Amino acid sequence: MSEKVFISPGKYVQGKNVIDKTGEYVKPLGHTALVIADKLVWGIAADRVVKSLEQAGLASVKVEFQGEASKNEVNRIADQGRSGHVDIVIGVGGGKTLDTAKAVNEVLGSSVVIIPTTASTDAPTSALSVLYTDEGAFDTYSFFSKNPSLILVDTKVISQAPPLFLSSGIADAMATWIEARAVIEARATTMAGGLPTLAAEAIAAKCEEVLFDYGLQAYESVKRKVVTPALEAVVEANTLLSGLGFESGGLAGAHAIHNGFTVLEGDIHHLTHGQKVAFGTLVQLALEKRPLAEVERYIDFYLKLDLPVTLEDVKLQEASREDLYRVAQAATKEGETAHNLPFAVTADDVLDAILAADQYSLAYKAKIGQTN
């Protein structure tokens, strides 16, 4: 592959209370919307979406998401969309709901609108979904023919979510430049299906710059449930910059480690996507033999955001060497994004990097007088 490829959603809208303008923005796309949200999100935001659609003269079919972005759930919801003759799919909620909405839309061949209620992942803007088994293990990346037609991000809604969701989104977005940098060096193929563009490189680098500049202020803002300029900047970095940056800039080691973790049982599955990516990012930095000062900059930032930096933090303090080797094997299986690093990577390499990342973080905690 020698072509450069950059892809993006049709329109991105961000601001306070934009959810109440859903109908206005959606109206050009069709007449009947399939609105997907889980039980909790219906009360938080999805009912307001339906109300705004009604005010704009649009019909809607309401579906409750059951919690797992699996092929069976996609097919169940798509069947309801077919029977309702919908021509718009609207996903409202977190990453798994949004990934399901995109997959349902691919089945139905309609327009998809994504309305995240947290800034916890960079899933909203992309033309792909991460699908899991019904039991919650990583299944596959599902690639679609086009990106969402519209992304609506209501920063007032996001400011009301638990701070953990924002810090998780920052962790996910922090991987964007680290992984894109590796893909660019390796001249590897991105999720967009080509080499990274200069635009993707610039966006990924800007994403990290914004997060280091405003991430802590944004985290404090959501603790008080207020919308500040810092929060607006970080929501855009978590959602738009990271979304464009990871998809057209590429994934590498951090997300491969995250996927590797899904083979384990236990408490690690209670962690968010971003929390696992945070540790995966430190593992990639260890693999890349980055200087200690650089590694410690990330560890320090993650600690201030209450993100995990050690195996104990990701609930793996009791994991055996064999268990961690299984993670490393899954992270380096054929087709995994770990192979986008600019050097050959084996399961043994990844196991050593996992243990090294844990040790670097333990040493840094000791240096600053912090204990678990």
Is 122 annotated as a binding-site member? yes
272 labelled ligand-binding: no
- Tallying the residues shown for the chain, one arrives at 372
Active site residue 172: yes
260 is in an annotated binding site: no
Share of the chain above pLDDT 70, in %: 99
Residue type at 140? T
Q: Is the model's pLDDT at 198 over the cut of 80?
A: yes
Supply the pTM of this predicted model. Answer: 0.94
172 is in an annotated binding site: yes
Tokens describing residue 35: 């609105």
Mean pLDDT of 127-141: 89
Three-state SS across 148-188? Answer: CCEEEEEHHHHHCCCHHHHHHHHHHHHHHHHHHHHHHHHCC
Catalytic choice (31, 79, 154, 172): 172
Q: Which band of pLDDT confidence, cut at 50, 70 and 90, is reported for residue 372? A: low
**Domains defined along the chain, listed by start:** 11-159 (3.40.50.1970), 163-368 (1.20.1090.10)
**Which one of the listed residues 31, 134, 255, 269 is annotated catalytic?**
255
With contact defined as beta carbons under 8 Å apart, do 117 and 158 qualify?
yes
pLDDT of residue 265: 87
Please state, in angstroms and rounded to a whole number, the distance separating the CA atoms of residues 66 and 58.
25
Q: How far apart are the C-alpha atoms of 35 and 109, rounded to whole Å? A: 15
Q: Which residue has the higher pLDDT, 143 or 348?
A: 348
Mean pLDDT of 131-145: 89
Q: pLDDT digit string (tens) for 53-111? A: 999 999 999 999 999 999 999 999 999 999 999 999 999 999 899 999 999 999 999 99
Three-state SS at 364: helix
Q: Does the pLDDT of residue 139 top 80, yes or no?
A: yes
Give the per-residue pLDDT at 49: 98
Residue 136: what pLDDT?
84
33 near 2, Cβ under 8 Å? no
Average pLDDT over residues 301-324: 97
Task: Give the span between the Cα atoms of 138 and 262, in whole angstroms.
Answer: 6
**Whole-number pLDDT of residue 1:** 63
270 is catalytic: no
Tell me the two tokens of residue 113. 């609108």
Q: Two tokens at 254?
A: 């951090």
What's the CA gap between 331 and 276, in Å, rounded? Answer: 13
